[in-house]
Chains A and B, each alone.
Chain A
Amino acid sequence: MKNLFISAALVLAVASPALADKVFVTNEKGNSVTVLDAATLEVIHTIEGLQRPRGITASPDGRHIYVCASDDDLVRVFDSATYEELPSLPSGADPELFVLHPSGNPLYIANEDDNIVTVVDVETRQVLAEVPVGVEPEGMAVSPDGRLVVNTSETTNMAHLIDTQSYQIVANVLVDSRPRFAEYTPDGKLLFVTAEIGGTVSVIDTSTNEVTGKIGFEVAGVLPEALQPVGLRITADGTKAYVALGPANRVAVIDIASRSVSDYLLVGQRVWQLAFSPDGRFLYTTNGNSNDISVIDTASDEVTISVPVGEQPWGVVAVRTQGEG
């Protein structure tokens, strides 16, 4: 297997190094991670043996894949080129979502059961801090300058802004019911927070930490209760946000300048989390109830294809691997 991989990697390296983009999808029910070749969208590997994998992210250099294995109570770590498992990180109980500091270290993990955010050094694998937050911490984001980490608490309905140096909460911003996910614009000036039950996306001005706008959703023929914003991603140029609308089976495209929805894209069932390709040309969506991912062309905002993965896909990350074995 290893020899085979090395020869494959050599071929790729000679042919076109840029083709080594891979998409990693956690399958919550399948207890696995599906790996797809981003160029061909073919499944090239499946990592088995995780207990309820959900949140997934990658190191800035794309070499390490971190997975919240919720029922293992661990963050499991894999080499993106070889799929070899590396030593796990402590996570606290039932990790669901996390975010890496822009420098690649540390990792900030939401622990739903304990109302804390656990901060873990990915090199030493030590817990650096536990920060008490609201009830049922869920979404995690980090400011582009790395100075603030954000946690959303689902029952407290707030975004908690935590200083990454002092681990003190510096602001608590009330948003709508059941906030699930947070993300900064690339310039760090705005913070977007989705509220699943509230059905809105709050836009927070980071200079005042005030909610300066709320974006609602409306799709003809879809029950308003089904429009439940969950995952959210913002384009690298800061012009558009994509919002997964859960059981509405659609991804909303938000024009950030006008703070309005410009399009709704039909994807698979119960669309949950989103990730861009490394070059930003594509957006991948996990569709939990149809066991597939959809691929959106971000230039045209068209859904180009759906690809079957494992059972109940939950999280997704795409990386450019270094081509080393």
Chain B
Amino acid sequence: MTKLKVALCGLGLMVIGSPALAEGTEYRIGVIRVDAPAPMPISRLDLPPEDLGIAGARLGTADNATTGGFLGQTFATEIVVATPQTAEAEMQKLLDAGVPYIVTLADAPMTVRLADIAGDRALVFNALATDDSLRGVDCRANLLHVAPSDAMMADGLAQYLAWKRWDEVVLIAGSHPEDQALAKAYRHAANKFGLTIVAERLYEDTGGARRTDSGHAQVQKQMPVFTQGLPDHEVIIAADHAGVFADWLPFHTWDARPVAGSAGLVPQSWDPAMEAWGGTQFQTRFEKSAGRPARSEDFQAWAALRVIGEAATRTNGGDFAAMHDFILSDKFDLAAFKGQKLTFRDWDGQLRQPILLVAGNVVASVSPQDEYLHQVSQLDTLGVDRPETECKK
């Protein structure tokens, strides 16, 4: 080691061996969370923390900054919490300020609107909406999905049920459009992995408070009756995106059958109990910085920030075009505590990722199950594969 190198490197910011390194690149990233008014969740344990998703974005920014510190790259993240009324104006403000990477935490219709406003001025990372339509008929060329799709999560659960030979399924769906879309994903998954849906029931949301004092007293009588008289089945799948009834199903069904889907064994992108593949390290760092356990929204926002950070690292401080091309190329991969590299599908912009199957306080399994193989990537056994995509971007 020459004296010159030691002297220069005393700053701790020097990389030797990267001649094309761009020193002093700043990456500006916007994070927009759009809070629509929503009813209270059934359980107070599910009340959303104020910094939901945002805490993940902050940790992702910190991780990027540490790495960037060795490469002369800085990361400035502007975080905006908007309402459905203000979201579009906030997006416009970020674009006018020249912010080219935007992470959204919004529902599907709002996500599309924000992506359309961005046009070719920004790359948008969807870190919340799971709707299959966003990856299909409503896909956009500038919109990438870090959140897994409903189809991926339904397939992840269906693979496990097929592995268990629990192939006679009852599907109970809520009445909201997003519940019906989720039910469609479960029907597709059942067909794909050889499960039989022996009966379907619709749970009408008649409004009213989700939580009342002694609410369980009525539920205890209502839920058994609601699930009475079903044909022989091995498991009940609940499709309850809106969070109206699924949490009340376990232990209240007429027949002694396990519940999966929106309650019971739940497919998720992340869970605070995840400890495999170095996950404990993420949990510990997140908990230290946020003061609470990480939820899926936090993991997804973190991963979105890390996609940007990883592309900045690998492109040597590349510009917007270089970053965009790199992220969608087969050279991109992200390590995100899921046991294998995560990459983007070029046909619909979806981040491939394993799906956790969470049962209460433990991660009971992770899909894809070993037995399901694929000619390209085992992760493509989850969700909408290239030949069946409806995305024409």
Task: Check if A and B associate.
Answer: yes
A residues with a Cβ closer than 8 A to B are 94, 112-113, 115, 132, 134-136, 147-148, 153-158, 160, 163, 166, 168-174, 177-178, 196-199, 208-211, 223, 225-226, 228, 247
Are B334's CB and A177's CB within 8 A? yes
B70 within 8 A of A: yes
Are B341's CB and A177's CB within 8 A? yes
Are B6's CB and A166's CB within 8 A? yes
Q: CB-CB < 8 A to A134: which residues of B?
A: 66-67, 70
Report the bound CA distance from A140 to B241 in whole Å.
Answer: 46
Are A169's CB and B67's CB within 8 A? no
Cross-chain pairs A/B with CB under 8 angstroms, 19 sampled: A112-B281, A113-B284, A113-B285, A132-B12, A134-B67, A157-B335, A160-B70, A171-B9, A172-B14, A173-B17, A174-B313, A178-B335, A196-B335, A198-B341, A210-B17, A211-B17, A223-B378, A225-B341, A225-B378
Convert B303-342 into 0s and 1s, putting 1 for each residue whose CB lies closer than 8 angstroms to a CB of A: 0001000100110000000000000000001110001110
Number of B residues, CB within 8 Å of A: 35
| Contact for B15 among A148, A172, A208, CB less than 8 A | A172
Are B15's CB and A171's CB within 8 A? yes
Report the bound CA distance from A131 to B5 in whole Å.
Answer: 18
- Report the minimum CB–CB distance from B288 to chain A (whole Å): 7
Known: A134-B66, A177-B334. A209 touches B17 (CB 8 A): yes
| Contact for A172 among B10, B70, B333, B340, CB less than 8 A | B70
B278 within 8 A of A: yes
Pick the 7 closest A-B CB pairs, nearest first: A210-B17, A197-B335, A156-B67, A225-B340, A177-B335, A178-B335, A172-B70
| Contact for A158 among B67, B335, B378, CB less than 8 A | B67
Are B281's CB and A171's CB within 8 A? no
Are B17's CB and A158's CB within 8 A? no
Please give me the residue from chain B that is nearest to A224 by CB atom. B377
Report the bound CA distance from A67 to B12 in whole Å.
Answer: 30
B residues with a Cβ closer than 8 A to A are 1, 5-6, 9-10, 12, 14-18, 63, 66-67, 70-71, 278, 281, 284-285, 288, 306, 310, 313-314, 333-335, 339-341, 373, 377-379
Report the bound CA distance from A156 to B281 in whole Å.
Answer: 14
Known: A174-B18, A174-B313, A209-B17. A136 touches B278 (CB 8 A): yes
Report the bound CA distance from A8 to B373 in whole Å.
Answer: 54
- Report the minimum CB–CB distance from A16 to chain B (whole Å): 43
Beyond A135-B66, A173-B15, A199-B341, 6 extra complex contacts between A and B, CB < 8 Å: A135-B67, A166-B10, A174-B15, A196-B335, A198-B341, A223-B378
Please give me the residue from chain B that is nearest to A199 by CB atom. B341
Are A197's CB and B67's CB within 8 A? no
